[in-house]
Structure 1
């Protein structure tokens, strides 16, 4: 995301007259970051079934996926937080002596689940696996209301840009106009990705550590001197 500010009155102070009409421009990058405890997890999980009969593979998949969804609902996951992301049917083949031999069909049904009960993620995943889920592809942690943290990161980035510009101006022995005349904003929220998980119904409670999310902001700030 990019936003342009032609004028910002942060750090406003009385400036010497020799700033007026100055054509010298200093461009600096300011960086800010805020560490946040995540409060939402988005999990992709699913059911894969195989059978020589396509109908039986589909029926088995539907039955198992319904069991998985019911398990999620019992844990208090709202139905609107469960969304189908893909449903595929593919023929399976073996190759013997260069000859293609039909093996059967594979049916895959993947869903994305938004979980707000962060402290129960491990138990929820275990319940899904025990109900028949045999794929857990990723977990991404985020925050529901990131605006406040993004603003904090922007404030830090602007302060950092001013400190850099002031240090450079001091080193160059020039007078810095502390009022930036142009700011370009780039912000980025970095969710913590988890690689594909191998889960087993016999593994016991699965430990899931959400860690922290770092919300970063970078500003390109132009000053006159």
Structure 2
């Protein structure tokens, strides 16, 4: 101490517990989406384009007879490509391939097999995938997110009790870990009939990183 001045030294260390909380919900799929493709091959482009278009018209008519609304049917693939084979290392032209793909949204997943069978019967010769999902994902995700936060606090509380310290009741920082929306895919072979489709279940996960002071 000099000249009557007192100097104080204080050291304050931040004490933080960092944990990851997870939450999950299992829900039944509500809707299905399927990609139905008509693939036509031939030598004369105009001819196979017309043939492809007629087939697609039959497919559309069949889907609408099943009660699929027009707004739930969308062209998502249309491709015209030359076809080549390689013979003794030489590229040989083998005609053209026209592909017209329709993505169909099926509101009643129990009718997914019937939709596929009807489409195949009317000329669809490629089904790329079947995607099962839910309409209101955010509602379920928020529930899982709440569970994740509760899980984070529970873990932090367990650690604090183990260290015999008092945990602050509210986190000082929360970081949400974003995940891709869940979907369930099913494969399908166009040679099957009376197709049994099992939608299974969807697991919605949420995860947060939380920091607590003690």
TM-score (structure 1 length as normaliser): 0.85
Q: How many residues align?
A: 202
Q: How does 1:9-158 map to 2 (within 5 A)?
A: 23-158=14-149
Q: CA deviation at 1:32?
A: 0.2
Distance (whole Å) between structure 2 residues aligned to residue 29 and residue 84 of structure 1: 43
Q: Give the 3-state SS of the residue equivalent to 1:170 in structure 2.
A: helix
TM-score (structure 2 length as normaliser): 0.90
Distance (whole Å) between structure 1 residues aligned to residue 202 and residue 88 of structure 2: 52
Q: CA deviation at 1:83?
A: 1.0
Distance (whole Å) between structure 1 residues aligned to residue 84 and residue 110 of structure 2: 43
The structure that has the greater radius of gyration is 2
Instruction: Give me the CA root mean square deviation.
Output: 1.4
Deviation by residue 1:92-151 (Cα, 9 ceiling, x = unmatched): 122223333221110011121111111110011000000000110011111111222112
Structure 1 residue ranges without an equivalent (≥5) = 1-20
Answering whether residue 172 of structure 2 is matched by residue 181 of structure 1, we say yes
Q: Which runs of 4+ in 1 moved over 4 A?
A: none
Q: CA deviation at 1:187?
A: 4.2
Structure 2 residue ranges without an equivalent (≥5) = 1-11
Deviates more, 1:124-133 or 1:62-71: 62-71
Structure 2 residue aligned with 1:10 = none
Q: CA deviation at 1:48?
A: 0.3
Q: Report the CA distance shift for 1:22/1:154 in structure 2 as closer, same or farther (over 3 A).
A: farther
Answering whether residue 195 of structure 2 is matched by residue 206 of structure 1, we say yes
Contact 1:50/1:57, CA 8 A, preserved across alignment: yes
Contact 1:150/1:187, CA 8 A, preserved across alignment: no
